[in-house]
Each structure stands twice: as structure tokens, then as C-alpha cells.
Structure 1
Amino acid sequence: MNQCKKVNNLKIRRALLGDISQMVHVEKESGAVFSAMPVEFLSCLPENLPLHSKEFYEQAVRNNGAWLAELDSKIVGFICLENIEEESSIHISEFAVDYNYQRKGIGNQLLSFVINFAQNESKDITLTTFSNVPWNANYYRNCGFITLNVNDLNDRLKSLIKNEVETGLPEQYRCAMKLTV
């Protein structure tokens, strides 16, 4: 994993219920980076990219599966995880860094934190993402994740991608990835 950039005063901590409105804000702000994508791709996306509900974040916080990146007491990124006991894995259900703080190493530090956590728990990591967006699938590949072939998807990952497509995300650009630890 690329550890070149490191924000020395970044604090990673568990999210609290009182942090949810800031997490929603960060998720909204993180999407600004999509404006750099080609028009052909953008025209395949819903007019408003689907965002997670406050209930989604409440569940993540209550399950101790939400971690924040704070810089000078400001939440600038977060990652939400689901523990998938039957697969002995952790699923990254949301990962966002505020657009104004992207490309500074914050995402690397959050992902490194999760990878270390997974290694300590002897659990693999899964996620779904855009296959054609450079800061999505390519980024994860550089961190050791592999793209799973459609035939290799288990029922949970198939269902996740199906739900994403139903919310308006283009199926041809969705993929599931896995990091075996």
C-alpha cells in the first residue's frame, strides 16, 4: 500500500451518533471528484448519486463499524464496515474523504487502519466499487485487492451489486473486490 503521504496530525477514532450529520456532509462533499470523469460515464449515473441514509450511519455507529478521520477536530473522512461472520470477512460499505481533503493521504491512512484491523482479526476484506473510476478500483488494486469475476461472487456480493444497480448505478461499471489477509 502506498504510504508516501501521511498526515501526521490525523486522528482516527470510532464514530459516535453525534457525528452522523458530519458524516453525511463528508459523503456529499466527496462526490465532487466525479466531475472530472468523462461525460459518457457521467451520463450513465443518476442525476443525484444515491447517498446513504441517516439510518445507515446510525446502524454502522451502533455496530461499532464506523471510523472517522479527524484533522484539527474536523471530520474529513470516514469508513464504514460490516462484520460478515459467516465469511470471516469485513465488508467496506462506505468510504469517503471530503473533496477538499482528498489526495493528502487521509484515505490511505483510513484504509491502512482497516487492513491492520482485519489482519489482527484474521479476516478478509470485501467491497463494491466503480470498475472504471481511477480512484476506485485501480486504487484498491494498488492496495492489494483483486477484482472478483462475476462467476466468483457469492450471494451477498451479487445482492449488493443488484441493489446498487436498482438505485441507479450502472451495472457495467460496478465490481466487487477482495483483499485476502
Structure 2
Amino acid sequence: MTRIRTARPEELDRLPPIERASGELFRDIGMAHIADDDPMPVATLRRHHVWVAVDVTDAPVAFAVAAELAGCAHLEQISVHPDHARRGIGARLIDRVGDWAAGRGLAALTLTTFRSVPWNEPYYRRLGFRVLPPGEITPELAGILAAEAERGLDPATRVCMRRELRL
């Protein structure tokens, strides 16, 4: 059983390889450009809140990255190494971020993701997220979508999602 804890500064450099490995699934569905995308830089990780799921040797096998954004906790990244996938680790990481956010008085978790990738929008719906209609997308989330478009992600394939928190 994996344990979830706050990431230690000295292990942040172990997270990009997890993100890269988890991204390989995109290659299997014809999205090699996503699989080949650079992982989140360690310098960026240092500026965010990061949690890790660790194995019995205390080595990270998955991680979640979040930042406060417009009164919510925005999930910047969730990656689970394929060797540890399909065990509920991602859901547990999201719940941990939710607990942290609720403790800070934040209203919800938000994220942007691919609309039609099975382990993206459909997965997050199962975890209690809902797709935000255009009228509910905050300027901050719109800015994230715009930055994603500048990096080459087709806006038609992207969606903003939100899960309310119990405060």
C-alpha cells in the first residue's frame, strides 16, 4: 500500500521521470506529441504545493501538484507511474489535495484536461468533478487555457473541471 505525504525538496528531481513515464499512455492513443512533451521543470515544482505517493521504500511513485487560484486549489499535474497505475493512487492524491484545500478555506478543486481521453475528463467525472460551462470559467482558468493553446494544445480538445469542497 502506498502512503501519501508532502514532497521533500530533495526528491523533486525524481518526479519528472514519473510524469514522462505516465505520459507514455498518450502515445498509445495517437497523441505522441503529448507523450513527447517536456515534464514540469523542477524549478516550477519548487514554487507549488506537491504531494507524493510513496512505495514501501519511501520512493515516489506518483505525485500531485497544486496552486491556489481564484479561491480554489488548481491541480496543475497528477502523474502516476504506469507500474503503480489502476490502484486508486491518483484518486487518493486528489483527495489529499482536496483536504489541504478545504483546510485553507478554498472552495473547490479545479483542473484543465483532455475532453475525450479516457483517463482524463471521464476519470475526473467519476471522482466528482464537473465540466464548467463557458460562463463559469474564471478569467484565471481562461488564462490557463490560453497558455495551453499557445503551447500547441487545441482548445477544442480541452475542458475546465471543478469539484466543490466541503468546508
For 2:61, the equivalent position in structure 1 comes to 76
**Equivalent residue of 2:123, what SS?**
helix
What whole-Å deviation, never above 9, does each CA across 1:13-60 have from its counterpart, x for those lacking one? 1112211111111111110111331x3xx27x4682242122111212
Cα RMSD, aligned residues only: 1.7
Counterparts of 1:158 and 1:57 in 2: how far apart (Å)? 22
For 2:22, the equivalent position in structure 1 comes to 30
Aligned pair in 2 of structure 1 residues 173, 16: CA closer, same or farther (>3 Å)? same
Structure 1 letter corresponding to 2:27 = S
Q: Aligned pair 1:51/2:39, yes or no?
A: yes
- Provide the identity percentage: 26
Counterparts of 2:118 and 2:6 in 1: how far apart (Å)? 28
Gaps of 5+ in 1: 1-8
Q: Aligned pair 1:178/2:166, yes or no?
A: no
Greater RCO, 1 or 2 (C-alpha within 8 Å, sep 6+): 1
For 2:12, the equivalent position in structure 1 comes to 20
Gaps of 5+ in 2: none
Aligned length: 163
Counterparts of 1:19 and 1:57 in 2: how far apart (Å)? 11
Match runs of 1:157-176 below 5 Å: 157-176=141-160
Counterparts of 2:15 and 2:38 in 1: how far apart (Å)? 15
**Equivalent of 2:95 in 99, 112, 116:** 112
Counterparts of 2:41 and 2:153 in 1: how far apart (Å)? 17
Runs of 4+ with >6 A deviation: none
**Is the 2:23–2:34 contact (alpha carbons within 8 Å) kept by the matching residues of 1?**
no
**Is the 2:25–2:35 contact (alpha carbons within 8 Å) kept by the matching residues of 1?**
no
**Is the 1:31–1:99 contact (alpha carbons within 8 Å) kept by the matching residues of 2?**
no
For 2:74, the equivalent position in structure 1 comes to 91
What whole-Å deviation, never above 9, does each CA across 1:82-120 have from its counterpart, x for those lacking one? 023xx3211111111112211122112111222233334
**Equivalent residue of 1:108, what SS?**
helix
Counterparts of 1:46 and 1:96 in 2: how far apart (Å)? 13
For 1:3, the equivalent position in structure 2 comes to none
**Equivalent of 1:142 in 109, 126, 133:** 126
Aligned pair in 2 of structure 1 residues 11, 149: CA closer, same or farther (>3 Å)? same
Q: TM-score, normalised by structure 1?
A: 0.83
Structure 2 letter corresponding to 1:151 = G
Aligned pair in 2 of structure 1 residues 176, 17: CA closer, same or farther (>3 Å)? same
